[in-house]
Structure 1
Amino acid sequence: MTGDDSVNSGDEVTSGGGDADRHYDAVVIGGGSAGLSGALTLARARRSVLVIDAGRPRNAPAPHMHGYLGHDGVPPSELLATGRAEVTRYGAEVVRDVVVAAERLPDGEGFRVVRKEGAPVVARRLLVTTGLVDELPPVPGVAERWGREVLHCPYCHGWEVASRPIGVLSTGPLAVHQALLWRQWSEDITLFRHTGPEPTDEEYEQLAARGIAVVDGEVAGLDVTDDRLTGVRLAGGRVLACEAVVVQPRFTARAEFLAGLGLDATGMKAADQVIGTYVAADPDGATEVPGVRVAGNVADPKGQVIAVAAAGVRAAAAINADLIADDVRRAVAARRV
């Protein structure tokens, strides 16, 4: 699975906490790889930092993560537990709570963050790393096997199912691309047309050239034996052997709480079809709202763990630069009084 933008539950995270309207240089909303990397960078810059984590990890179903140099095969929860320990060692706070709203202060100098359980807090800057929700195709068995044998990213899990029979469930415009991509990991690929568009003549030729079978008809469900995926069952009752199934989730950014700032998610399209949403930002995470930056899957749905962690660092460095400029401005103004 791709990037992790929210942490697993664990004893390391406190619940609630904080005094009413307590002030921080930066509040990080989201405690996954992007959020913790950003918080670590800011804390090491001697900034006061609060991380608010809702505890809704995108990659919770995955037993291991891959592609993160030096951490390949590590369980996501283990990486994040280590990250929380590092962050708090530098004085940052990490709390378990849900942010329900964010609003600019009347004087325009910062933001008020409203939480579901804890007291509101005030931040000079916001770093939003809340990630996204993978909305899966409504096929029986898909949600139950998600992150195990139902997969999306070959760079995350392709090695683990290499050379096995793999089915690609077509529900949108990227199915042929997925089938050709996953062919790198296995010679036994089947494209199930299901509810997706019919391939073009050129695509049919490409699939045939790579030895990828195309099966018409809708998929009724997945067959599981001894807690292992064994096949894909068509509506007519026919079952084709498969040990992994590739799907295309709809990526939905967790950004509803930003509406009070006038910041909305943008539709992400493929072949003129919306396949998800994200919060638009520049390479340093700056959004159209000054003082609010984003990092991780909320801004980059395709980002893997290592990529979203790097994005968190980059956005945090930009936040610190913003704060330094603000500190200098305030100091000059005070000196002139």
Structure 2
Amino acid sequence: MAATTLATAEGKRPSARLRRLEDERWLALVLLTPTAVLLGLFIAYPFVEGVLLSLSSARVGDPGQFVGLKNFYKIWNDSIFHTTVWNTFWYTGVTTVFKLALGLWLALLLNRHFRGKAIIRAFILLPFIIPTVLSTFAWKWMFDPTFSVINWTLFQLGLITTRINWLGDPDLAMTSIIVINIWRGVPFFAITLLAGLQTISPELHEAAAIDGARPWARFWHVTWPLLMPVTLVVVLFSVIQTFADFQLVYVMTGGGPANATHLFATYAYQLGIGTGLLSEGAAISLAMFPFLFIIVVAQLLYIRRVETR
């Protein structure tokens, strides 16, 4: 009887493959393999191909040959590339500051209790939900010098006497795309910061109020420190997305007028696809990587320092 029971137990033992999966190291390897394959196919492989392309003289229909850092030296002496670098940093910095300020203001308002709060929250998300190209075409019509509703409104208010060519002037064109990016990005900041605000216990504000702290003091010494980790993560994602922005600028100005509103992505597209200089376009795309890498690493280190306090 005992021998029969032992034989049955041995027959029900898991196979060697299943026993191996009980080891956390093997289980982690199995679970991470599909993700690693996808990242390798859609991120690592294109990145390596881009590096190889930037080190060659490839054009459309011509595989080219190895030229080393010649393409990087060429774009370094390109005045349009210098303008592109300045535009990208200015565009990213200004929009991030305004999106953070307006998003935080909206989050503080939406964190209060009032009638119709759910509807207003859903309405605020519309700029972020609408496809970028669709909303940008609407803005392009609003900034059109002939049919601009903005010009019509300013004319009716007596603020202008002639039409303003918003997208034909370099400074006004950059200001226009900055305004559109802020309009589109504020909902992302507002909803994310609102989620962070709702994790802060009201008892902390009540205790601070009992101690005599005014609203601004309660915000600065209670709300803001607790909201800082969420804020830094939101800013990090916003910087990455804004730094590599393409659709908005391409639809609004195409990098114009006179290449005055180019960002890294739009200038790389114009050279690589528009003129067929694939290697130079790849070099401009890779030139964005060191700047973005330094910014992201600096922000991650700062986030880690804040979280360890």
The TM-score bracket by the shorter chain reads under 0.3
TM-score by length of 2: 0.24
Structure number with bigger Rg: 2
Structure scoring higher RCO (CA < 8 A, sep ≥ 6) equals 2
Hey, which of these two has a bigger chunk of strand by percent? 1
TM-score, normalisation: structure 1: 0.22
